[in-house]
Structure 1
């Protein structure tokens, strides 16, 4: 089934987006839907369904083959140079493997969220202002980690590292946060801490949050809306009030089972 939720003022729009890799693999097939400003959207599906590809087309980490991706009603598909850097400033990215510099302190990792605003050499040399450091402290306060300010990243638990990654994204003052399987390697307790943090930023700051998850249970617990992908196609799209477990389970059917 495919139903498209219609809401005004989309912050992101997909217009007949296709992604075909150089080896012929179809990553995305005619993706066509809007994401309203301030929504907490969860994308579900099997591994290889196209979830990561979908997310990475928004900040242009992946190029599309055809169609159009719009952010704030502007097509970003042809952005280059300064325009692309400015796009990525307003989109925070949270990765499954945290992407921290393990031998650096928590503060330095959080400050690296400013790389889109400063020349690379300035970030490498750590030439940040007192105001920047104050902002880093405040970002860590939002994720309850100020006591780890000068701790090396590799001395933190997985859940703490992911919260540092969220604080790093907050340094960008993002309008959008993309989270690609952010809790895949975490235990249930730290999973809750990370998902609660993302939900709080969505609710309190109005940040549009898009999260890829395998867990149907977590999707139902946190999402305003759930979309499902199978083999690169959008096969499910419902606001949370209309989501049923039975319908969601069909997203996970293989072609032989469908």
Structure 2
């Protein structure tokens, strides 16, 4: 493994059972401490790629290495242990809405305790203290005993981040974490992820639709189109023309102009 490469994606392709191609020969490395943002149109393969990293999706070919170990070739206890290092944040938060914030955050320990102890809340005092600390990191400690469904969308997403922190992950995977949030709340959530990245050294890989957020928070931006990796550059060097390339805007604009000219002819 190349030095500092925490994630290595090697010739990864994904074809779904219905024949739809999700990924086409993806080669990508993510270094320790990076804040990598993946951009692209809906259906470009962003979620498929992200979910393949922690094997929520099985790939059709290729391999994915986490810290030099193939997650594709791992199973049983070995796979469960590897997944502790890979926390996942979802667009729809994936909280138990009727449960308390406390219970939702502590459920992040399921990879250590198993389902039985997690279901019956058999937590240690030190676990509860750690849950409070995790909420403090996202400025929500005062919501510890509130029900999750009493919180705003932004607060729920930040609870989801606190839950992910309980895993003590090396990598945070965020699948459109701001898609259902307003701009101000989106910035708060991204601020939390950036803080974890900079202050705790957690590597972040996030899918985003918002170009401005990608430029503001990423250290590196990659682009997918039609399941293919079409762009990879340090965020500080990315321009509007680069986004046009990723989203194939020039082609679309040209088609519009042709249609317009034909209509006027």
TM-score tier, shorter chain, comes to over 0.9
- Residue aligning to 1:37: 32
Q: 2:218 aligns with which of 207, 223, 229?
A: 223
Counterpart secondary structure, 1:60: coil
- Structure 2: unaligned runs, 5 residues or longer: 255-265
Is residue 54–residue 86 contact of structure 2 (8 Å, CA) maintained in 1?
yes
Structure 1 residue 255: deviation in Å?
A: 10
Larger gyration radius, structure 1 or structure 2:
2
Runs of 4+ in 1 over 3 A off after TM superposition: 254-258
Q: How does 1:106-185 map to 2 (within 5 A)?
A: 106-185=101-180
Point out which structure has higher relative CO (alpha carbons under 8 A, 6+ apart): 1
Q: Distance in 2 between matches of 1:236 and 1:119?
A: 40
Q: Residue in 2 aligned with 1:78?
A: 73
Once the 2 structures are TM-superposed, how far is the Cα of residue 33 of structure 1 from its aligned partner? 1.5
Matched, 1:49 2:44: yes
Rounded to whole Å, the distance in 1 between the matches of 2:140 and 2:212 is 27
Measure the CA separation in 1 of the matches of 2:181 and 2:21: 30
Where 2:111 maps in the other structure, the secondary structure is coil
Normalised by the size of structure 2, how large is the TM-score?
A: 0.93
Deviations 1:48-82 (A, max 9, x none): 00000000111000001011101001111121110
Shift of 1:215: 1.0
Please state whether the residue corresponding to 1:96 is helix, strand or coil. Answer: coil
CA displacement 1:86-115 (0-9 Å, x = unmatched): 111111100000000000000100000000
Separation (CA, whole Å) in 1 of partners of 2:4 and 2:153:
36
Further displaced range: 154-163 or 242-251: 242-251
1:245 to 236, 240, 250: 240
Over the aligned positions, Cα root-mean-square deviation in angstroms equals: 1.3
TM-score for the superposition, normalised by structure 1: 0.95
Number of residue pairs the alignment of both structures matches: 252
- How far, CA to CA, are the matches of 1:48 and 1:241 in structure 2? 26
